[in-house]
Amino acid sequence: MYATFTSTCIVILAVALMMPAMAAQDTPQAKGPRILFLTKSQGFEHSSIAQKDGKPSVADITLAKIAKEIGATLVSTKNADQINAANLKNYDLVIFYTQGDLALDSKDGGSNIGATGEADLVEWVKKGGRFMGFHSASDTFHTPAGGEVTPYLKMVGGEFTSHGGQFEGAVKVVDPSHPAVAAIPAGYKPMEEWYLFHNFNTGSIHVLAILDPGEARVKQADKYNIPNYPIIWVNAVGDGKVYFNAIGHREDFWEKDPVFHKSVVDAIAWLMAKGKEGTEPNFDQVVPKEIPKK
């Protein structure tokens, strides 16, 4: 099923790795994907994206390395006003590690998104853009009380609701043939701050991996005594594609987790490949409704 676009992904990466080492520093005319990485946080700013003493964040540094590895151009910013119809035309892939209402002022000093920014982003994806979200990208543009799910969160595919204390959770791949999760091995149990979600776009998203909270069902029963639930998924939006990974709270994921690093490379390759194979809705088929028996 994935043979065609898997081959395409391999070709993309093979060509990218042959490009000059400074490709990530080139102008937007570079041959690899042009990537915009936004990290504005209206409320809580994660340490992984905090820029201290004017230096790039841990996530900035890691994505710069990945961009160099695949021959991409990367622009990292906290200025949400970069999300507009005119500027989005300069990019092939937009990555969000954001938080809150991007139209409001933030302590990180990033500029606010314009009045049409959210709509411009969703429309850009519908027309063939590629979007990748990490962790608190699901804690962005929340659904108003009593209102409809925001267009942004419909596109992302799920909305953050809360989390408990950090613990080692089992990430279980439910579509092992999908190239975006090829690097995630059986038995992968990273220490993380595991988000809980609601407003899943169940009729649209293709779930790639679910979280088994394991012992947290007892130790943090008020949060995690629930069936296994989606933690990595993809979505087709018009002619565009979306990838979301709830992992990324901890700095060590960005700094030194080879599984996470490779999964980001694989996800970018899948996103940039033509076609929408691997986005077929599968929520009802792979997400359990009961807590697994011991």
Domain ranges of the chain: 3-163+195-208+227-286
CA angle 287, 261, 247 (to 5 degrees): 40
Torsion over CA: 182, 185, 190, 195 (sign): positive
Question: What is the mean pLDDT of the segment spanning 93-101?
Answer: 97
Q: What is the DSSP string of 244-286?
A: EE----SHHHHHH-HHHHHHHHHHHHHHHSSS-TT----HHHH
Total-model pTM: 0.89
Give the up-direction half-sphere exposure of residue 131: CA atoms within 13 A in the CB hemisphere: 36
For all residues of the chain together, what is the average pLDDT? 90
Three-state secondary-structure class, residue 80: helix
- pLDDT classification of 27: cutoffs 50, 70, 90: very low
Residue 133, number of CB atoms within 10 A of its CB: 24
| Residue 15 confidence (pLDDT) above 70 | no
Q: Do residues 73 and 30 touch, judged by C-beta distance below 8 A?
A: yes
- The pLDDT assigned to 3 comes to 45
| Residue 17 confidence (pLDDT) above 80 | no
Tell me, which fold does domain 3-163+195-208+227-286 have in CATH?
Rossmann fold (3.40.50)
Please tell me what DSSP assigns to residue 135.
Answer: G
- pLDDT classification of 30: cutoffs 50, 70, 90: low
Please state, in angstroms and rounded to a whole number, the distance separating the CA atoms of residues 259 and 264: 9
Burial of 292 (C-beta count, 10 Å sphere; 0-12/13-18/19+): exposed
- pLDDT classification of 10: cutoffs 50, 70, 90: very low
Please tell me what DSSP assigns to residue 112.
Answer: P
| Residue 235 confidence (pLDDT) above 70 | yes
- The pLDDT assigned to 4 comes to 41
| Residue 22 confidence (pLDDT) above 70 | no
